Amino acid sequence: MSSFMKILFVHNDYAKPSGEEHAVQNIAGLLTSHGHQISWLRTSSDVIGDSASQKIKAFFSGIYSTDSRRRMESLLDQGKYDLVQVQNLYPFLSPSVLAPCRTRGIPIVMRCPNYRLFCPNGLHLSHGQVCERCVGGREWQCILRNCLDGRLKSAGYAVRNAFARMTRMILDNVTIFVVLSEFQKRRFMDAGIPAERIEILPNIAPKMDGNVDENDESDAISFVGRVSPEKGILEFLDAARKLPRNRFVVAGSTDAMPEVTRLAPANVEFTGFLRGKDLDDIFYRSRLLVFPSLWFEGFPNVVAQAMACGKPVVAMKIGALAEIVEDGKTGLLCDLEDRDELAQKIDFLWNRPDLCREMGKAGREKALAEYSEEKFYSRLMKIYEKALKR
């Protein structure tokens, strides 16, 4: 493998900014800082809006986009790329862009932070409940259960997944699939992807400035992230209700679920969406972070940030969270079925500030050792090297 590579990044941005955009920009920036040359094939879903014509276009292009394939062919012929890094292909790029890479002998590394390859909505979640019914060629379950809250939309997502599976446009053209955890790797193997073509690459824990030690201002129990049922916001509010003497903070937009402000007890503060220093301050002012997510998370950046900031994490024992949060060492894990345990474990940690400091220190050490930029880059280069040799 040459010291510096020419890499084409391929990504369809979501209509609303997401963790995927943040991650793909960070990866591209990291590679650029190490001397690699990055180019883009990029589209965005924000043009869809309420436009009927754009929705129709998105439906058909998600299945197969001749325009996107031609754009890819042109870029590959002009650019002489060493490798292609793919993130999200839907709805405007589609798997049609992959075959031109293979015919030119250019390896594809596809980063998969979710389960979209075999779950039409990408989350293994249906109406707030974990669901794996579509795995194994049963995409029609998405339509039957109306997973996207609209029959036409559910049908569109199901059809494009089924088409990609039956034509093997993804499976036959991607060189290596990159997942974020061992848990995700097992899910991908169960769905039929060979183990030797799956590599694990956890996210980068952000570098946190300032004092990460416990201080007198650490007076909050915080929830950071998307305010939605699958993220466990109702479970968080229930815990706050059971611990009325404690101060709880929700840092995240409530636009998708405005009723939570009415449902919340008086000891819960809503800050709205935060970023940068304002978000960092939430972590510094928190004694612990609660991450009560109810679905198969890949690798939550919020958890990594809390660890980097030296804060213990109380999370549900589901998906990759049991790998990231070491129960009794960097935080505490809760049984999904026990509705009282979340409040009990929050209360347990809150009343043991020395233990909070000890767990926070262990979490920070883990973040620095396993989730640093340097570790990420080293792992990524090994993945690229493997892809180039296949």
| pLDDT higher than threshold 80 for residue 257 | yes
CA dist 279 and 271 (Å) reads: 10
What is the band of 2 on the pLDDT scale with cuts at 50, 70, 90?
low
| pLDDT of residue 212 exceeding 60 | no
The strand pair at 129-130 and 125-126 is best described as antiparallel
- pLDDT of amino acid 213: 55
Residues 6+ apart with CB under 8 A from 32: 38
* pLDDT value of position 51: 78
Q: Is the pLDDT of residue 215 over 60?
A: no
Digit-coded pLDDT (tens) for 264-319: 999 999 999 998 899 999 999 999 999 999 999 989 989 999 999 999 999 999 99
Calpha distance 185→294 (Å, rounded): 19
Residue tagged 């920070």 (tokens): 364
Distance from the Cα of residue 333 to its chain's centroid = 20
Measured CA to CA, the distance from residue 108 to residue 94 in angstroms comes to 14
Among the listed residues 36, 47, 48, the one whose alpha carbon sits nearest the alpha carbon of residue 9? 36
112-158 pLDDT, tens digit per residue, is 999 999 999 999 999 888 999 999 999 999 999 999 989 989 999 99
Contact 177/199 with Cβ under 8 angstroms? yes
Characterize the bridge pairing of strands 220-224 and 248-251. parallel
pLDDT above 60 for 216: no
Phi-psi region of 192 (alpha: psi -120 to 50; beta: other; left: phi over 0): left
Which among 266, 384, 374 is positioned nearest to 30, based on CA atoms? 374
Hey, what domains does the chain have and what are their CATH numbers?
6-117+170-204+372-389 (3.40.50.2000), 220-370 (3.40.50.2000)
Would you say residue 209 has pLDDT above 80?
no
- Which of 34, 22, 27, 62 has the alpha carbon at shortest distance from 225? 22
Q: Percent of the chain at pLDDT above 90?
A: 82
pLDDT band (50, 70, 90) for residue 59: confident
pLDDT category of residue 217 using cuts at 50, 70 and 90: low
Q: Does the pLDDT of residue 84 top 70, yes or no?
A: yes
Question: In whole numbers, what is the pLDDT of the chain averaged over residues?
Answer: 93
Q: What is the C-alpha to C-alpha distance for residues 72 and 89, in angstroms, rounded to an integer?
A: 12
Convert the pLDDT of each residue in 362-390 to its tens digit.
Answer: 999 999 999 999 999 999 999 999 999 98
- The two tokens of residue 77 are 């012929």
Q: Measure the CA–CA gap between 385 and 387, rounded to whole angstroms.
A: 5
pLDDT band at 87 (very low <50, low <70, confident <90, very high): very high
* Tally of CB atoms within 10 A around 357: 17
| Residue 58 banded pLDDT, cuts 50, 70, 90 | confident
- Contact partners, residue 361, CB within 8 Å, separation at least 6: 310
Provide the sign of the torsion angle of the four alpha carbons 187, 189, 193, 198, taken in this order.
positive
pLDDT of 178 over the 90 cut: yes
Nearest-Å Rg of the Cα atoms of the chain is: 21
Helices and strands (DSSP H and E) totals, the chain: 15, 14
Cβ(246)–Cβ(371) below 8 Å: no
Q: Is residue 318 within 8 Å of 312, Cβ to Cβ?
A: no
Strands (E), 5-98: 6-13, 37-44, 83-86
Q: What is the largest CA-CA distance in the chain?
A: 64
CA 38/CA 305 separation, integer angstroms: 27
> Which pLDDT value is given to residue 179?
98
Q: Are 204 and 376 in contact (CB under 8 A)?
A: yes
Instruction: Give the tens place of pLDDT for each residue, 96-108.
Output: 999 999 999 999 9
